[in-house]
Amino acid sequence: MNLEGRIREVRARLTRSCEVAGRDPASVELLPVSKFQPEARLREALALGFHRFGENYVQEAAAKASGLPEATFVLLGPLQSNKAKLALGTFAELQSVDRLDLAHRLERLAGELDVVRPVWVQVDLWGEATKLGGCPEAALAPLLAFLVGSSRLPLKGLMALPPPGELRAFTQMADLREAWRQRLGRDLRLSMGMSGDLEAAVAAGTDQVRIGTALFGER
């Protein structure tokens, strides 16, 4: 099947799962994840109406960004501090902010570069941080408090990458989002759900699904 057909299939899955959950399909954003996909693939997706792409690796995304000025990129992968500056120059938004020292550094560099970059906090409730990145629940309060006070790094929401088969993960994240919404007294979006589990994420209330394989094929 070509890209157009796979986009139609993914949209149909999203619409169906929204119907089941009694949600408006327009309330769930589909973020295509284009890591390891060649630039030609992204051009095809651009022609079919996608303008924002999730990428995991700073250097790979920086190369794509210079070839595709009409696209914008969202960082999904773990960010090493020494790539923070390149990341701020490459990505319109950062979804994998997961520690206070990184947030401090990003804030300082964003000031130097005079840029504003919306950020999401990647949460790890499952002890996976060493492998996948993510902020453990016990370290969330100071990180969220810092970002709420930052004008350079406005806080958009919470992102999670639960290990496969962790069935309670999506409702755990929905509960966590609700608790922090109340504590902070402001809205927080939720980004979770990938090719294999978007239905469960939609059922739990995600605002964004990040889809790679189901759109672009195997990597």
Ligand X SMILES: *Cc1c(COP(=O)(O)O)cnc(C)c1O
Q: Which is nearer to ligand X, 152 or 157 (CB)?
A: 157
44 touches 64 (CB < 8 A): no
User: Residues 65, 74, 84, 161: which binds ligand X (CB under 6 A)?
Assistant: 161
Query: Rule CB under 6 A: is residue 210 a binding residue for ligand X?
Result: yes
Q: Which is nearer to ligand X, 64 or 152 (CB)?
A: 64
Q: Which residues pair with 74 in a beta bridge?
A: 54, 93
120 touches 157 (CB < 8 A): yes
Q: Which tokens is 115 given?
A: 């840029």
Nearest residue to 87 (alpha-carbon basis) of 61, 66, 64: 61
Q: Which residues pair with 55 in a beta bridge?
A: 75
Query: Rule CB under 6 A: is residue 99 a binding residue for ligand X?
Result: no
Q: From 43-51, 86-94, 142-150, 208-216, give the range in contact with ligand X by CB under 6 A.
A: 208-216
Q: Which is nearer to ligand X, 100 or 132 (CB)?
A: 132
| Site string (113-152) toward ligand X, x via CB under 6 A | ----------------------------------------
User: Residues 10, 33, 158, 174: which binds ligand X (CB under 6 A)?
Assistant: 33
Q: DSSP labels for 120-170? A: EEEEESSS-HHHH--EEGGGHHHHHHHHHT-SSS-EEEEEE-PPTT-TTHH
Q: Which residue has the tokens 């902010």?
A: 97
| Site string (179-198) toward ligand X, x via CB under 6 A | ---------------xxx--
Query: Rule CB under 6 A: is residue 202 a binding residue for ligand X?
Result: no
Q: Which tokens is 103 given?
A: 């947030």
Q: From 14-22, 59-67, 171-179, 204-212, give the range in contact with ligand X by CB under 6 A.
A: 204-212
Task: Give the Cα separation of 104 and 107 in Å (integer).
Answer: 5
User: Residues 23, 35, 43, 83: which binds ligand X (CB under 6 A)?
Assistant: 35
Binding site residues, ligand X, CB under 6 A = 33, 35, 56, 76-77, 161, 194-196, 210-214
